[in-house]
Structure 1
Amino acid sequence: MKTPLAQTTDAGSWWLIGAMALVCFAVSFNLGFHVRPASMTPLGIGLVLLYAGYAIGSRTGRARLANGAIAFLQMTLFTAIGVVLSYALAAHAAPLWDDVFAAADRRLGFDWHAIFAVADRSPALLWIGGVAYHSLTLQMIVCIVALAATDRIGTLRTTVAAAILTGFATILISAFMPALGNVFDPAAYHLLWPSVAWIEQDMLLGLRDGSWRTVDLTQLMGIVSFPSYHATLAVILAWAQRDLRGWRVAATVWAGVTILATPLFGGHYGVDVLAGLAMAVLGLAVAPGLARLRANVQENPRATAGQAG
């Protein structure tokens, strides 16, 4: 079911992006971070093109183009600011929670050595899971295009608000509960791919000890372990496409595969994924209100002004 367009705005998502930018600046101040100049060009060009798409769509009355472009613009800004913010928070080097998360996994019955061994003997499942895990950005692109093309703009705005809200919350939680992740050495296995946690461990340690302070905007990497944003976003995207006939089943199944693959390819603990699922539920409960922020003011400014007086 479509969320009525007139009852939603982009304001809530813009407020969240602004808040993230302010927090990022405050947290990064005096940490010695510097951006590699050449890496700013691709991001800048992308942002200009997206804004141009929005402007063209607005001026020519092509609402689907305008709203799709603004969704991409918001998600691009959120990603760039969010990753840099996660770097800055990691640089403050709060005590690691890996022992706590590993112990919680054991209490929940997760035997990762056995799980890794089984996965190492399943090449077909490994490829399916690996492709699903690493396709999350593509899943977001498909979701935005599908919702914009079918004129589900209210749902699109709610989805973007949920994605940004949960991402922001996830990054802030990582400041107090950082972890290196459920790291395993792929050399000990025959077929297992190196997990993101394995690939990024040197960078994360460098952030914590002060030796890594150069930001390359063309190679932004997610470093948050708890909660798992991969699990959160997969649920949000499946929810967003629940009314798309002929696609909702595929989107839901692909999201499920992504979630199951997250511990293996992301190097996440089981509790990371469970927390990510809970975050998605909370985000989807709050996001509709964010997507309606200022909608009443825009629909009936005189009535609102009268009430304010």
Structure 2
Amino acid sequence: MFRADHRETASWVLIGAMLMSFLVAQYHHRFTVDPIRAAPAMAAVTALALALAIGKYTARPRLVAGARAFLQMTLFTVLGVVLAYALAANAGKLWDARLAAADRAIGFNWPVVLALLDKSPPLIWLFGLAYHSLTLQMIVVIVALSGMGKFDTLRTMVCAAILSGFVTILISGLTPAMGNLFDPSRYAHLWPSIAWLEQGLISGLRDGSLRVLDLTMLMGIVSFPSFHATLAAIFIWAFGAMPRLAVPGRVWAVLTIVATPVFGGHYGVDVIMGLFLAPPAIIASRHITRRRRAPHLMDSAQPA
């Protein structure tokens, strides 16, 4: 049973489980960390931990909630990416042929979509910026929820993001893929997808030539399911707790999901599976992060 002051336990346990999973996954393919390039990440974690401590010492619940959320998401991001790297180093045969076949079976015709999109540069910019703004969306959600005192929603959102991200990474280790690749040089306006840019990285992880982790250049390499889609769907839910931001925030997140196949280099089935993961992650996180005593104390805005 979670006590009122232990509602953050689930997220911290998940982060610890990700660290342990990385240590196990890289046992036969040892990775090292470039210490100099690890400095910015360590500085960010230290600054957030300090902000959390200051918030607790000065009794500023909004600062505590925001700093904790950013700290948890930062640790999750770093550990998630390196865990995905370790799993990729151990992964078996690529699933691209099967994922592409699944796309064709449900009617996705990506050459036609790419050709049509290439004729509309304004749409390319709209979708491209939406896709690459996921981190900015996270910042907006965390700042807004903590600033408004929506601490329960913030806690659930962070836990759902970590839980679904952990599950996504584990699934991707069993279903490795290079992604839904297209050659951008064949188009006049389309940008290179993330999957296109990551080809060398994934190949290096698989053939053993890349074993030094540069924490300043961490890139998500998960194809199936799409965590980009999962996280954007979780943000759609979180924006609903903020009436003034609900409509623009949800439109922003929907554009991100629509843009994910092209600009992330994902198969359609990647995105569909990613969307399916969001609701159970939210439901589970609401359950494991809720108060279990003093039911008369409800989540409400508290003075900073």
- TM-score with structure 1 setting the length: 0.92
User: 2: distance between equivalents of 1:179 and 1:22?
Assistant: 24
Displacement of 1:94 in angstroms is 1.2
**What corresponds to 2:29 in structure 1?**
31
- 1:296 partner SS: coil
Query: For 1:122, which of 115, 120, 123 is the aligned residue?
Result: 120
**What corresponds to 2:189 in structure 1?**
191
**What corresponds to 1:296 in structure 2?**
292
Deviations 1:221-246 (A, max 9, x none): 00000000000000101101102122
- 2:92 partner SS: coil
User: 1: distance between equivalents of 2:120 and 2:261?
Assistant: 16
* Structure 1 residues 152 and 6: alpha-carbon distance in aligned structure 2, compared to 1, 3 A threshold: farther
Query: For 2:158, which of 147, 157, 160 is the aligned residue?
Result: 160
**What corresponds to 1:134 in structure 2?**
132
User: 1: distance between equivalents of 2:127 and 2:206?
Assistant: 31
**What corresponds to 2:231 in structure 1?**
233
- Kept in 2, the 8 Å contact 1:13–1:290? The answer is no
Displacement of 1:93 in angstroms is 2.7
**What corresponds to 1:247 in structure 2?**
245
User: 2: distance between equivalents of 1:71 and 1:93?
Assistant: 32
User: 2: distance between equivalents of 1:80 and 1:290?
Assistant: 24
**What corresponds to 2:281 in structure 1?**
283
Deviations 1:162-221 (A, max 9, x none): 000000000000111111100000001000000000000111011111111111001110
User: 2: distance between equivalents of 1:8 and 1:198?
Assistant: 43
**What corresponds to 1:48 in structure 2?**
46
Displacement of 1:6 in angstroms is 5.0
User: 1: distance between equivalents of 2:56 and 2:98?
Assistant: 51
- Kept in 2, the 8 Å contact 1:7–1:296? The answer is no
2:260 alignment partner AA: T
- TM-score with structure 2 setting the length: 0.94
Query: For 1:61, which of 59, 62, 78 is the aligned residue?
Result: 59
Deviations 1:235-270 (A, max 9, x none): 101101102122110011011100000000000000
**What corresponds to 1:205 in structure 2?**
203
**What corresponds to 1:269 in structure 2?**
267
- Kept in 1, the 8 Å contact 2:11–2:158? The answer is yes
Displacement of 1:48 in angstroms is 0.9
Q: Which runs of 5+ in 1 are unaligned?
A: 301-309
User: 2: distance between equivalents of 1:119 and 1:171?
Assistant: 30
User: 1: distance between equivalents of 2:25 and 2:77?
Assistant: 17
Q: What is the total number of aligned residue pairs between the two structures?
A: 293
Runs of 4+ in 1 over 6 A off after TM superposition: none
2:79 alignment partner AA: I
2:261 alignment partner AA: P
- Equivalent pairs: percent with the same residue? 53
- Kept in 2, the 8 Å contact 1:93–1:209? The answer is no
Displacement of 1:117 in angstroms is 0.1
**What corresponds to 2:9 in structure 1?**
11
Q: Which runs of 5+ in 2 are unaligned?
A: 296-304
Displacement of 1:7 in angstroms is 8.6
Query: For 1:145, which of 131, 143, 146 is the aligned residue?
Result: 143
- 2:48 partner SS: helix
**What corresponds to 1:214 in structure 2?**
212
